[in-house]
Amino acid sequence: MKEISAKVREAGVVGAGGAGFPTHVKLSARAEIVIVNAAECEPLLKTDQQLAARYPDLLVKGLTLAMEATGAQKGIIALKGKYKDAIGALELHIKNYKDLEISIMPDIYPAGDEVITIWLTTGRRVPPGGIPLDIGVVVNNVQTLINVARAVEGTPVTTRTLTVTGAVKKPITVTVPIGTPLRDILELAGGGSGELAYINGGPMMGTLITDLSTPVTKTTGGLIALPKDHMLIQRKGQRVETILRIAKTVCEQCNFCTELCPRHIIGHELSPHRLIRAVNYKNISAPSLVTTALTCSECGVCEAYACPVGISPLRVNIALKAELRAKGIKYQGELGKVDPMARHRLIPSSRLMDRLRLRPWYKEAPLSAEMYVPDEVTLKLQQHIGAPAISVVQVGDVVHVGQLIGKIPDGALGANVHASIEGRVINVTPQTITIRKGGAAK
């Protein structure tokens, strides 16, 4: 068991679903159930569903390795019924395993929020401010477990698969070396036309990209191009001061944001309408209420779907979280009752798509078998939660694919970084290592 997590640590595997938590730490814990989170509930993204269909052997292998490492007796692959290719491929591969099952989740958002994934597939509820391990569960996403299977075979993480879609000529799902500039990936999708802006990740939880030379990391969720005047771009670009002003002037305390908040409906104290009230009337708010912001998953339901007057409790929560964390304040509270209407309050994906005005860009983005190799990659030394890796190479070194170039600092939480293309190191900073293909000096 220790051998599995040691190999995963060596290979630099981190949670590919977005957070980037070092996977070897998760696999060093004891758990009862390992869940594969294959929900991929962000509209437009089509990476995990295609990887599960293309590499069911690796995914099942990664799942069984994670179960072995944690001592789990049960493995659940959680995905949506509409991912028929993935389900068909996985059914064939799990038929000889008595301890593995496929759990079909409704086509709702946010089925992929791990707290909701666990509740939908097992009925267990993570307490507010807690983690899945508190209730005996470990959750990993598809790409993470494929990387676990490869790690145990001795292959480190050097690539990332992601969907490039939206207002591009040829939506596509590509596998690229980590460190590839987003600009190159946009070209693989035929480029975009018109006045565009870009989102890193999904439409709901992704962030605006300000610079297309930004390199792909182990956690880059996707690249979505949308017209600059699209409501999502406008909303994501709003300054927090503007958001707070709107909240103060137009919140009618209708409570819709709380009624639809996925964390609230499963019994968490988090009530976005009360947080908005607390921020608007600081002098009469209870300090403990404000700490509930720390339990917000940032799913965006309150902002993008619930609020009828365009307020963003999500962004208010993000601002509150930053303040509370800077002061070292933690949330302490109990798990309450599940809303009897909870399952009916989750958002159907098709309705979300319409509400976000994304229908024109809902297209296939087929998984390409080709591997693009850019002329240059820039690998961040921190692509994960924890301390940045420390460079073990120097300018002028020639490196090969998979060679260790950034090492976890002694005794720290972190993840190793490996060269993703063959070439010569042309720049090293405390934050990044740049490699140029073919070994030519700059």
Query: In angstroms, what is the minimal distance from the CB of 57 to ligand SF4?
Result: 35
Query: In angstroms, what is the minimal distance from the CB of 341 to ligand SF4?
Result: 16
Note whether 297 binds ligand SF4 by CB under 6 A.
Answer: yes
Q: How many angstroms separate the CA atoms of 50 and 83, rounded?
A: 8
Report residue 409 CA to chain centroid gap: 25
Of residues 256 and 372, the one with the C-beta less far from ligand SF4: 256
Residues for the chain: how many in total? Answer: 442
Q: Which two tokens stand for residue 105?
A: 């989740």
Q: How many angstroms separate the CA atoms of 358 and 206, rounded?
A: 14
Centre a 10 Å sphere on the Cβ of residue 81 and count the other Cβ atoms it contains: 10
- Judged by CB under 6 A, the residue of 144, 317, 383, 416 near ligand SF4 is 317
Listing DSSP states for 262-325 in one string gives HHHHTT-S--HHHHHHHHHTGGGS-HHHHGGGGG-----HIIIII-TT---HHHHHHHHHHHHH
Query: In angstroms, what is the minimal distance from the CB of 301 to ligand SF4?
Result: 4
Q: Which two tokens stand for residue 191?
A: 């480029």
Name the segment binding ligand SF4 (CB under 6 A); options: 81-89, 133-141, 290-298, 411-419.
290-298
- Judged by CB under 6 A, the residue of 31, 39, 59, 311 near ligand SF4 is 311
- Judged by CB under 6 A, the residue of 100, 216, 307, 367 near ligand SF4 is 307
260-279 b/e with 16+ CB inside 10 Å = b?
Answer: bbbbbbbbbbbbbbbbbbbb
Note whether 254 binds ligand SF4 by CB under 6 A.
Answer: yes
| Beta carbons of 209 and 198 less than 8 angstroms apart | yes
| Beta carbons of 305 and 260 less than 8 angstroms apart | yes
Of residues 261 and 426, the one with the C-beta less far from ligand SF4: 261
Note whether 306 binds ligand SF4 by CB under 6 A.
Answer: yes
Name the segment binding ligand SF4 (CB under 6 A); options: 10-18, 60-68, 92-100, 304-312.
304-312
What are the strands of the beta sheet with 390-391, ordered from one edge? Answer: 390-391, 404-407, 417-418
Quickly tell me which residue has 């002098």 as its tokens.
283
Name the segment binding ligand SF4 (CB under 6 A); options: 99-107, 174-182, 254-262, 328-336.
254-262
Name the segment binding ligand SF4 (CB under 6 A); options: 91-99, 159-167, 218-226, 272-280.
272-280
Note whether 253 binds ligand SF4 by CB under 6 A.
Answer: yes
For the CA atoms of 210, 216, 222, 227, the dihedral, rounded to the nearest 10 degrees, stands at: 30
Of residues 188 and 302, the one with the C-beta less far from ligand SF4: 302
- Judged by CB under 6 A, the residue of 66, 299, 352, 433 near ligand SF4 is 299
Give the number of residues in contact with ligand SF4, rule: CB under 6 A: 28
Query: In angstroms, what is the minimal distance from the CB of 100 to ligand SF4?
Result: 30
Which residues contact ligand SF4 (rule: CB under 6 A)?
A: 251-257, 261-263, 270, 272-273, 276, 296-302, 306-307, 309, 311, 313-314, 317
